Chain A
Amino acid sequence: MPRATVLIVLAFLAVPPATAIAQSRPGRPARPGRPGADAEPMAPAPTLADLAEIVPKLESTQGDEVREAIDLLTVIDRPEVVAPLSALLRAGQPDAITDRALEALGALGQAGAVDVLVEFTHHRREPARRRAYQALAAIQDPRIPRLLEQGLRDSDRNVRGAAALALGQIGARGSVDTLFIAFDRGVIEAAIAIGKLGDRAAVQKFSESVGRRPLSVMLSGFEQFVRRRDLPDEVKLEIVQRLGEVSGPLVKTFLREYLGTFSERDRSALKRAIEETIRRIPDGPAPAAAPAATAGGAL
């Protein structure tokens, strides 16, 4: 989940947004206000000075109070709030608070949270592990790609899928080989990640799976490849040609949508190749819904 989105959600749940915007870190998107908040007096957004007052609330026996404290700490958005949140998690919490705290650490994106998040990638509850990987993906740290790769080894398909998407999200180009292994073992989310990260050789390797993997899965990877600006048109042309060999209404639909991303004045060879491929693919019945692929690969 994008950081901005997380913050938006948290802001809705927690603190008066106007002051939160005022306190937000430079460069971060401003948090929108709560609906109807304009008409009400706003409490000042919590700051680091409020930490001593907020942290004791984490030990409250009232779940709502604990959740509110977590949200307030998120709004403070400073490295200092990682420690109380980590302590809260390590103290063992009900599911809702654990998940909220993990999301909060993800929203904070502080490197200091890596250790506790790694611990929670081994949590016995799948949602907790998934959130931990997602939170790790939000942290800029050189250790993160290797940690996310561990998620691909998880027995739960949702965790594997989240880890694969996270690797693609953070641009972990060094993990492409691992993503290919995961893809071969059925982690379909790896297709998207490979599409985001792979180079020309990866395109060729990925194309070899056409016919062995569901077309919808393959198209999700090709979509990422063709959207990238860092890949030369020759590579995209190869993809188009490969898809032309596959043909079929699903491919035609895909190519049409891809063609729609080009400007009308574009006269590139790639565009012409797309148009030609679309023209060659006969019109058939409306493409059926993509076959239900198993997310995260087989267990």
Chain B
Amino acid sequence: MIPVRVSRLAVLAPLAALAGCASVGHTNAFSARFADNQALPTEAVVARLPQPVAATRPDNASGAPLVLVTTHGGERRVIAWDVATGRERWSAAFDAMTRPEAIGDLVVFSARIGTGADSHDEVLALDLADGRVRWRETHEMGYVGAAREGDTIVLVNGVGAQGGARRVSHVRAVEPRGGAVIWEYEIQGVLGHPAIAGGQVFIPWDRQNIAVLDARTGMEQARLRSTDDIIDWVDARPEGVFYGSKAVYRLDARATSGTRAGSTYLAPLLPAAPGDPLIHPDGFVPSPGTRTARGRIRLHASLQPTPPGEAIALADDVVYYVYFRYVFAFSADGTARWVRILDEDVIGAEPSPAGLFTVGEKGALRLLDETTGNDRWSASLGAEVASATLDVAGFAPTGEPGAARDLKTSLTEVALDGDNRLVPARAFALQMLAADPDPAVTRELLDMYAQRGMPSSLREAIGTALRARRTGTEFLVGALQRHYDFLEGTEAPPLQVIVPSLVAAAERRSVDALVAQLMDHETPAAVLPTVVQAIVQLGDAGVVPALRAFLVLYHADSAFLAPPDAACTPATPNACAMQALGLAADGIFKLGGNEGREMLTRLAAEGRTHAPLAATVRGFFEGEQRAAEEAARAEATARERAAAEAAQEVEAALPIRLSQELVNAAFAEHTEALRACVAEELARNPRLAQVRVVFIMNNDGTGRDFTFAPNTPEFVACLTPKVAAVTFPRFRQIRQRGSFVISVRGGQPQTETPAEGASPGAEVLAADAPWWQRARVRAGVPLNAAVTTALPWWVRHAAPVTIVAPPAQPSQPTQPETPTSPAAPPAGGERRGGFRARAAAAQPAPAQPAPAQPAPAQPAPAQPAAGSTAAGSARAAASRGRSCPTTPPAQRPAQPAQPPAGAPPAPAPAPPAQPWWLPQQ
């Protein structure tokens, strides 16, 4: 930055400003050390801006709606045209190089002075009232633009905005009457068109920054830098200060974020519009005053005067898109309102609440009604226009615009306009038309597609639109009825765009017509694959004869022979034809049933069939076989997976460890086998009270490492194979230690009840409870159940056998229940009788009289059955898995009275109250 010259007025002002601004640390403008995006300075700048208001009157000093134009051809002039009076205010002969701008009471522009080698450019300031030159200056740099507020005019000149090694700009503030310089800077970089509001100058800088300078002093107040976007322009309007490129940002406190998300931001409008239209002209490149195509593609919109910080919104909910001589009006949500074709290109335009004011290149002035697009007002400048500046805010003539035209009709007219300069906009109109679901649009598109002379890009756009149509398919089906006819001049329908749409719409009504097209030799080979595919997709078995006829007729024809890897293009009709044959064969394969497959098999085997076709057909069968094998493999895999999952589920359902109840249940199955061993051991050891088995259980249900107590050899030898035969339920843990206790001695039935206050089912066991109680609990027998722990275990887990009472012994009438000699078991006696006989023989004589026994003649016939039933139920329950095979109280045999709960056990070797094998009462 090089401060070039500072006027007297500016000498003291910066010094004063320096004092005030010292807190933000800047002493100059455009300094590389100046901090950007600072909140406080920016808030101060925003605070100085005027309140946003809607523009209701022209900005020029006269307050009259005004159009400034430069003319084209002949003697070039600058004309000020008063819109209100419909007359030319003045006209001045200048070869304007830039578009004239009205700033206050001046019209400022750059003009070429002189001709030939002596010519040079000057910046001219004309009096708005009469066109006289107020002042003029020559500058070595090109004129960029000017802005004015009150008595301060800021002018920017520069070099290098459009590239080049030299990038220098000059900005200065001048007083309006004589052009005297108030302050000025020359910087290495490019500056854009300035804007002024609230006594502050906003200058876009290097397309990334905005320098905010005090209008009177030239001191930089704040600087904004965009990190998400480039900054092509800054504009100060009554609605606020805005900047941006394609998007629009509001200059407010949020602008210090430098980002889209953090700023008050309006996304680019109509992003799909062709021509990359701008919402604001590029501020770094001066708008030319000569005729050019630049600027003829533009967006025009007014913004609402919303307060700073609030979202940017379109005024009147309308944005105008001008493409040369087409004008489109859209709502803010992108909905098209109207389309207008003008008879001349639009050179300049300005939106207002009444509509869009346009200036045409032939001098036509129009106000297009916002609602209908019709002329609300029109006039003519009577001159060819090269450039135009409009200052017509608030101009609202009272003319009636007339009825709105049908949008579809307008769009169709644009699409068919015939101006091949404007094909992109015509395609744009076509897309808008195609977005309409009205079935009639499909017909319109078909008609357009059939038109000769349609540019290829537009035809392509129509084709794309037709392919995407899902309504009006009846017109597509109707189009299929058309066939080529040389005499009638009829062309084949555009199958390449019709058929995909019909297929997507599943339009089965088209099948017959498609078959007719298939059999018509005029149908281009390039679309045959599409047609055949559509027939197969939309048709059923009814299309097989046609496919078959097609396939058979051409399977050896040279027009259908192509290398197997040839791609189908319009230049390779044979490849397309061969592809069509393959697709027809595929259709027969899928829809033709066994007959079709047999036909294909024969066809593939024929010597004259084209080899690629034969290979294709064989491929169908091979592919099917592969698919079947694949499916079988997949099915087997699925089965295996399901089985594995089921096994995992079963495994997961197994208990981690076996509970004692399950162990007991497993042993219950073998009661009878164990009983023999216990009886023998009891014979050997009459004082045997308990047998304990400790072992290891494997999770496959087997047991090992059995140890027994007592462990007399005989007893161990007897028990080992029997215990080894016990099969336990499976469990998840690899192995676990288990034990099983046989309480040999019986006693009086003993009923225990839970302690008062205990919950039902809770087992209460005193710390000094006798072992049999603990055994009961361990076996899962409720303490309060009417069961005696003194009963032999096999009675409590009775085997499914019938207990038969031994025959009475006449020699011992007083002890009828005393067993007889073990050597003489009752004939036909059952095992239980045998046990009893052997046990009696081994039993020593009782030391005291035996207690009263039940009558021997009463073998308690109900017990075995009940025991059998109970055992069966227990086994069933055990096999179900988880319940302890306890005998229901109602099915249990009557038991002798148990000693009271907590009573000490009988002192060993106390003789048993009664032999364990006798039926209990």
A181 vs B485: C-alpha distance when bound (angstroms): 12
Nearest Cβ in chain A — how far from B576, in angstroms? 11
A61 and B484 contacting across the interface, CB-CB below 8 Å:
no
Q: Does B344 contact A (CB under 8 A)?
A: no
B558 and A95 contacting across the interface, CB-CB below 8 Å:
yes
Q: Does B487 contact A (CB under 8 A)?
A: yes
Contact with B along A85-127 (1 / 0, CB 8 A): 0000011111100100000000000000000000000111100
Nearest Cβ in chain B — how far from A185, in angstroms? 6
Chain B residues closer than 8 Å to A91, beta-carbon distance: 552
A92 and B487 contacting across the interface, CB-CB below 8 Å:
no
B556 and A124 contacting across the interface, CB-CB below 8 Å:
no
Partner of B484, one of A95, A155, A160: A155
A297 vs B549: C-alpha distance when bound (angstroms): 32
Q: Does B12 contact A (CB under 8 A)?
A: no
A93 and B522 contacting across the interface, CB-CB below 8 Å:
no
Given contacts A153-B485, A178-B487, A181-B487, contact A122 B557 (CB under 8 A): no
Chain A residues closer than 8 Å to B552, beta-carbon distance: 90-92
Nearest Cβ in chain B — how far from A240, in angstroms? 31
Name the interface size band of chain B.
Answer: 20 to 34
Nearest Cβ in chain A — how far from B160, in angstroms? 58
B556 and A92 contacting across the interface, CB-CB below 8 Å:
yes
Nearest Cβ in chain A — how far from B551, in angstroms? 8
Partner of B521, one of A95, A124, A297: A124
| Chain A positions 140-198 with a Cβ under 8 Å from a chain B Cβ | 152-155, 160, 178, 181-182, 185
Contact with B along A241-279 (1 / 0, CB 8 A): 000000000000000000000000000000000000000
Q: Which A-chain residue is minimally distant from B524 (CB atoms)? A: A155
Nearest Cβ in chain A — how far from B273, in angstroms? 40
Q: Which B-chain residue is minimally distant from A62 (CB atoms)? A: B607
Given contacts A61-B608, A93-B608, A155-B522, contact A125 B486 (CB under 8 A): no
A154 vs B608: C-alpha distance when bound (angstroms): 29
Chain B residues closer than 8 Å to A123, beta-carbon distance: 521, 553
Q: Does B488 contact A (CB under 8 A)?
A: yes
Nearest Cβ in chain B — how far from A65, in angstroms? 12
Q: Does B554 contact A (CB under 8 A)?
A: yes
Counted as pairs of residues, one from A and one from B, with CB atoms less than 8 Å apart, the total is: 62
A155 and B607 contacting across the interface, CB-CB below 8 Å:
no
Q: Does A129 contact B (CB under 8 A)?
A: yes
Partner of B486, one of A95, A122, A154: A154
A90 vs B557: C-alpha distance when bound (angstroms): 12
Chain B residues closer than 8 Å to A90, beta-carbon distance: 549, 552-553
| Chain B positions 746-793 with a Cβ under 8 Å from a chain A Cβ | none
Q: Which B-chain residue is minimally distant from A151 (CB atoms)? A: B486
Given contacts A152-B487, A155-B486, contact A125 B520 (CB under 8 A): no
Chain B residues closer than 8 Å to A155, beta-carbon distance: 484, 486, 522
A122 and B487 contacting across the interface, CB-CB below 8 Å:
no
Nearest Cβ in chain B — how far from A264, in angstroms? 46
A297 vs B489: C-alpha distance when bound (angstroms): 13
Nearest Cβ in chain B — how far from A128, in angstroms? 8
A124 and B485 contacting across the interface, CB-CB below 8 Å:
no
Nearest Cβ in chain A — how far from B683, in angstroms? 100
Given contacts A61-B608, A94-B608, contact A153 B487 (CB under 8 A): yes
Q: Which A-chain residue is minimally distant from B577 (CB atoms)? A: A124
Chain A residues closer than 8 Å to B488, beta-carbon distance: 153
Q: Does B525 contact A (CB under 8 A)?
A: yes
Q: Does B519 contact A (CB under 8 A)?
A: yes
Q: Does B875 contact A (CB under 8 A)?
A: no
A126 vs B529: C-alpha distance when bound (angstroms): 20
A93 vs B609: C-alpha distance when bound (angstroms): 9
A178 vs B488: C-alpha distance when bound (angstroms): 11
A95 and B485 contacting across the interface, CB-CB below 8 Å:
no
Nearest Cβ in chain A — how far from B493, in angstroms? 14
21 contacts between A and B (CB under 8 A): A61-B608, A90-B553, A92-B552, A92-B553, A92-B554, A92-B556, A93-B556, A94-B558, A94-B608, A95-B557, A95-B558, A122-B521, A124-B525, A124-B559, A124-B577, A125-B557, A125-B559, A152-B486, A153-B485, A153-B486, A297-B486
5 tightest A-B contacts by CB? Answer: A61-B607, A124-B521, A92-B552, A125-B559, A95-B558
